[in-house]
Amino acid sequence: MTNSKTSLSIIIPAYNEEKRIRQTIISLRSYLKSKKYTYEIIAVDDGSTDGTINVLKDILSADLRIITITKSGKGTAVKEGMLSANNDYEYAFFMDADLSTGVEEIESFINIFKSEPETEVIIGSRYLPEGAVIVQPPFRNLVGKTFSLIKSKLLGINFYDSQCGFKAFRMKTAKKIFAKSEIKGFSFDVEVLYIALLNGIKINESSVDWKHQPGGHVNIIADSVPMLIELIEIFLNKNKYIS
């Protein structure tokens, strides 16, 4: 269903990813070129203290843009990437630098967009009944379910998985949503979905295979309280989000 006219931006937030960002970009390039897409990769370095920026510069070419920001959080990094994406392209994706979700899901999501004209946002889901989560630590699974319960009660967001780091948007919709987003930390995913729902934007939750990768930057214990505080901020910001 895809063709050479398909165009997309891939945003990758990166914080201290020098050990894997090179292979991630290489894998993405190889895949996107094989599909003959028109594309750009935007790596947003969120104030890394290791050699991430040097690795990115070493593999810099016409299809890769690098944005550097002071350490602000994943939400800010994704927002900066989305707002700088090429306005003329059709789709905008963001995905984690560890490739927990495989690059082949890109085509799956594009096919959904092409077959469902009313869908504006697609979120990857590790927990849909037909999905497959690979190597998910039990404690992380428990915390995720607790977070989902709280967001459902507070905000009425009832997707199986709001936090999977693989999401796609029609470009115009991405610009509209991220222009309104304010959350800097890991709860930005919830904010993005809340903005979409409040504005009547159609969201499709699609199953993806997901493999937990060691070396991630989410500390389940330390980050839980800030994420809950962000949920309250999202709730209080409701009137700001409505167009």
How far apart are the C-alpha atoms of 45 and 54, rounded to whole Å? 11
Residue 57 — φ and ψ, nearest 5°? -65, -35
How far apart are the C-alpha atoms of 2 and 178, rounded to whole Å? 26
166 or 213, greater pLDDT: 166
- Which pLDDT belongs to residue 1? 45
pLDDT per position as a tens digit, 134-189: 655 665 666 667 788 889 889 999 998 898 999 999 999 999 999 999 999 999 99
Evaluate whether 48 touches 16 at the Cβ level (below 8 Å).
Answer: yes
- Which pLDDT belongs to residue 88? 97
Q: Choose among 174, 198, 193, 197: nearest CA to 183.
A: 193
Angle between helices 171-180 and 188-198 (to 10 degrees): 110
- Region 42-53 average pLDDT: 97
- Which pLDDT belongs to residue 221? 64
How far apart are the C-alpha atoms of 236 and 151, rounded to whole Å? 13
- Region 7-35 average pLDDT: 97
16 or 217, greater pLDDT: 16
243 or 53, greater pLDDT: 53
- Secondary element (H or E) of residue 193: helix 188-198
Q: For the range 81-84, what are the long-range contacts, defined as Cβ-Cβ under 8 Å and sequence gap of 24 or more? A: 81/9, 81/11, 81/12, 81/13, 81/42, 81/44, 82/11, 82/169, 82/174, 82/175, 82/178, 83/175, 83/178, 83/179, 84/42
> Beta strands 166-170 and 91-95: pairing type?
antiparallel
CATH superfamily, domain at 7-241: Spore Coat Polysaccharide Biosynthesis Protein SpsA; Chain A (3.90.550.10)
pLDDT per position as a tens digit, 78-105: 999 999 999 999 999 999 999 989 999 9
**Tally of CB atoms within 10 A around 218:** 14
Alpha-helix runs per DSSP H in 7-166: 21-34, 52-58, 74-84, 105-115, 138-155
- Which pLDDT belongs to residue 218? 63
Cβ contacts of residue 126 below 8 Å, gap of 6+? 133, 136, 160, 161, 164, 208, 210
Cβ contacts of residue 171 below 8 Å, gap of 6+? 9, 85, 86, 87, 89, 90, 91, 92
- Which pLDDT belongs to residue 2? 46
Q: Choose among 141, 140, 126, 87: nearest CA to 209.
A: 126
pLDDT at 215 > cutoff 80? no
How far apart are the C-alpha atoms of 198 and 46, rounded to whole Å? 29
pLDDT at 128 > cutoff 90? no
Binning pLDDT at 50, 70 and 90, where does residue 4 land?
low
pLDDT per position as a tens digit, 115-125: 999 999 999 99
Q: Please provide the average confidence, as pLDDT, over all residues in the chain.
A: 91
